[in-house]
């Protein structure tokens, strides 16, 4: 584009030099001015950054990972660069899923799999991520269009399908099994599945797939009134699956699709969805990079700023056959797993050496016990210079109580007695 504009500029300049009529030269000047504006507009367009081969902790403005790698320098994460080895699947690219996808992309995740069947609408503009010019595009295509500009290092795979259909579920399962990104990885081809769907039927489809594949996943949701939400971790066999404790409406046998009324839609706040997406991705990073505590369940009530937590064990009478199989496997493997965890803790306890806190800090600050401080020849800060005395006693000094003689007191008493007798006579 820039080359073509430059050629047009040169042609106009040549034409201007060949003209003898001043009025025609004025017209050429106007054309050159318009062409110059177009050239400036083309230069001010979006600039895509090149791919970065290796993450670097170098603190320079041109390094997109410097602030992320700082977590490693500060001791929060042992090796942040490992994030490039992980694959995360996000089901549902709506108010929560789209923001979660953007956050993970900015964090430098290795591979993202995106699933949705819907299209971008103007009604979605109250949420984050999507833009008006993307209306009519599928949500997966619009997401890829935005995310590839943010971070070209991330491998993006989009699937425009409905996972609740037979064909869609089969495609969903096969894509999770695909290990082309990490051939040596055990289990499925992804490290974590994030469910960001808005209906129970889709959640049950994700639940079924993850139970069959023994795949760890996280579920998220926002309430219909848009003022509360939650996230939860689901480990097949260890933590209750979505079928272990179904919602009351589903347990009562009511079809949730009959609850939706024509012309009535759920409320939607970008603030609540942004908070839930942030909590979801924060726990995703903690789970993948092994730092901090990953909550089994974390709720959010924006009206009271309340964050409840709880943990649910699997139901031995769960209706999901795959869940029951995972429970049996977990019970059988539990003794060996507990023994290995105990041995690891004991080994770590033996190798722990006491070292001074911040031994190599640049401010030369050291931490010592007060009882170990013994400075020979030092004088107290309360000691006065030579020639000065205190007007009042020192409160820290111990003074023995005065021992006064009782003889003068008895003499005064006898004298007072004689005076009283003289007055009475």
Q: Give pLDDT, residue 408.
A: 58
Terminal Cα-to-Cα distance of the chain (whole angstroms) = 135
Tell me if 127 sits within 8 A of 270, measured CB to CB: yes
What domain range is 284 assigned to? Answer: 66-326
Cα–Cα nearest to 46, from 141, 131, 112: 131
Residue 375: inside a domain, yes or no? Answer: no
Q: Is 265 a catalytic residue?
A: yes
Tell how far CA 264 is from the center of its chain.
33
What span, in angstroms and rounded, lies between the C-alpha atoms of 129 and 95? 8
Pick the catalytic residue from 196, 244, 265, 318: 265
Rounded CA gap, 331 and 237, in Å? 8
The two structure tokens encoding residue 81: 């660069």
* pLDDT score at 176: 94
As for how many domains the chain has, the answer is 2
Q: Answer for the pair 90, 194: CB distance below 8 angstroms, yes or no.
A: yes
Instruction: Verify that 30 and 77 share a domain, yes or no.
Output: no
144, two tokens = 């890829």
pLDDT score recorded for residue 416? 76
Which ranges in 252-320 belong to alpha helices (H)?
A: 270-289
Q: How far apart are CA 415 and CA 140, in angstroms?
A: 112
Q: If you count them, how many residues does the chain have?
A: 425
Q: Parallel, antiparallel, or unpaired for β 217-222 and 192-195?
A: parallel
This prediction's pTM = 0.71
Question: Pairing between strand 228-234 and 155-160?
Answer: unpaired
Identify the domain boundary among 278, 309, 326.
326
Per-residue pLDDT of the chain (425 residues; tens, 9 = 90+): 567 767 777 877 787 778 777 777 777 787 878 777 777 766 665 667 788 888 888 888 888 999 999 998 899 999 999 999 999 999 999 999 999 999 999 999 999 999 999 999 998 998 899 999 999 999 999 999 999 999 999 999 999 999 999 999 999 999 999 888 888 777 788 999 999 998 889 999 999 999 999 999 999 999 988 999 999 999 999 999 988 877 655 555 666 555 555 555 678 899 999 999 999 999 999 999 999 999 999 999 999 999 999 888 999 999 999 999 999 999 999 888 888 888 888 887 776 655 555 556 666 666 666 555 555 445 555 666 666 666 666 655 655 665 555 555 566 777 777 777 777 76
Q: What's 196's domain CATH number?
A: 3.40.50.720
Give the span between the Cα atoms of 161 and 157, in whole angstroms.
13
Query: Does any domain span residue 173?
Result: yes
| Whether residue 290 sits in one domain with residue 216 | yes
Residue 362 included in any domain = no
Residue 123, token pair as written in the block: 């009604």
Q: Tell whether 34 and 154 lie within a shared domain.
A: no
In a domain, 282, yes or no: yes
Q: Which of 155, 39, 168, 20 is nearest to 91 (CA)?
A: 168
CB 276 within 8 A of CB 269: no
Q: Residue 189, Cα to own-chain centre: how many angstroms?
A: 23
**Number of helical H runs and strand E runs in the chain:** 11, 7
């Amino acid at each position: 584009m820039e080359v073509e504009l430059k050629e047009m500029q040169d042609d106009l300049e040549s034409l201007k030099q060949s003209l003898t009529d001043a009025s025609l030269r004025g017209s050429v000047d106007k054309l050159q001015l318009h062409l110059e504006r177009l050239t400036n507009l083309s230069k001010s367009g979006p600039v895509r950054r090149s791919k970065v081969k290796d993450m670097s902790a170098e603190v320079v403005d041109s390094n997109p990972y410097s602030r992320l790698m700082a977590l490693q320098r500060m001791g929060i994460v042992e090796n942040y660069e490992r994030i490039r080895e992980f694959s995360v699947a996000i089901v549902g690219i709506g108010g929560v899923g789209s923001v979660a996808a953007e956050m993970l992309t900015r964090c430098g995740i290795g591979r993202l799999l995106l699933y949705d069947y819907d299209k971008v609408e103007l009604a979605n503009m109250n949420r984050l991520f999507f833009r008006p010019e993307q209306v009519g595009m599928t949500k997966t295509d619009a997401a890829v269009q935005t995310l590839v500009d943010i971070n070209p290092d991330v491998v993006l795979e989009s699937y425009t399908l409905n996972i609740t259909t037979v064909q869609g579920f089969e495609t969903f399962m096969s894509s999770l099994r695909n290990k082309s990104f990490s051939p040596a990885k055990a289990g499925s081809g992804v490290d974590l599945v994030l469910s960001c769907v808005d209906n129970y039927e889709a959640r049950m489809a994700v639940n079924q797939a993850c139970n069959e594949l023994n795949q760890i996943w996280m579920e998220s949701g926002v309430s219909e009134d848009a003022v509360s939400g939650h996230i939860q971790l689901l480990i097949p066999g260890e933590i209750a699956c979505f079928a272990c404790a179904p919602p009351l409406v589903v347990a009562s046998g009511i079809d949730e699709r009959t609850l939706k009324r024509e012309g009535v839609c759920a409320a939607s706040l970008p603030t609540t969805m942004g908070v839930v997406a942030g909590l979801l991705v924060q726990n995703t990073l903690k789970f993948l990079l092994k730092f901090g505590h990953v909550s089994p369940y974390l709720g959010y009530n924006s009206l009271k700023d309340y964050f409840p937590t709880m943990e649910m064990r699997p139901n031995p009478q769960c209706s999901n056959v795959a869940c029951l199989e995972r429970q049996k496997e977990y019970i059988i493997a539990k003794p060996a797993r507990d023994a290995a965890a105990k041995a690891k803790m004991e080994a770590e306890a033996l190798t722990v050496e006491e070292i001074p806190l911040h031994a190599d800090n640049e401010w030369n600050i050291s931490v010592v016990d007060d009882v170990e401080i013994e400075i020979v020849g030092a004088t107290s800060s309360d000691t006065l210079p030579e020639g000065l005395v205190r007007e009042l006693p020192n409160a820290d000094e111990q003074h023995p109580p005065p021992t006064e003689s009782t003889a003068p007191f008895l003499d005064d008493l006898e004298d007072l007695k004689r005076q009283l007798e003289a007055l009475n006579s």
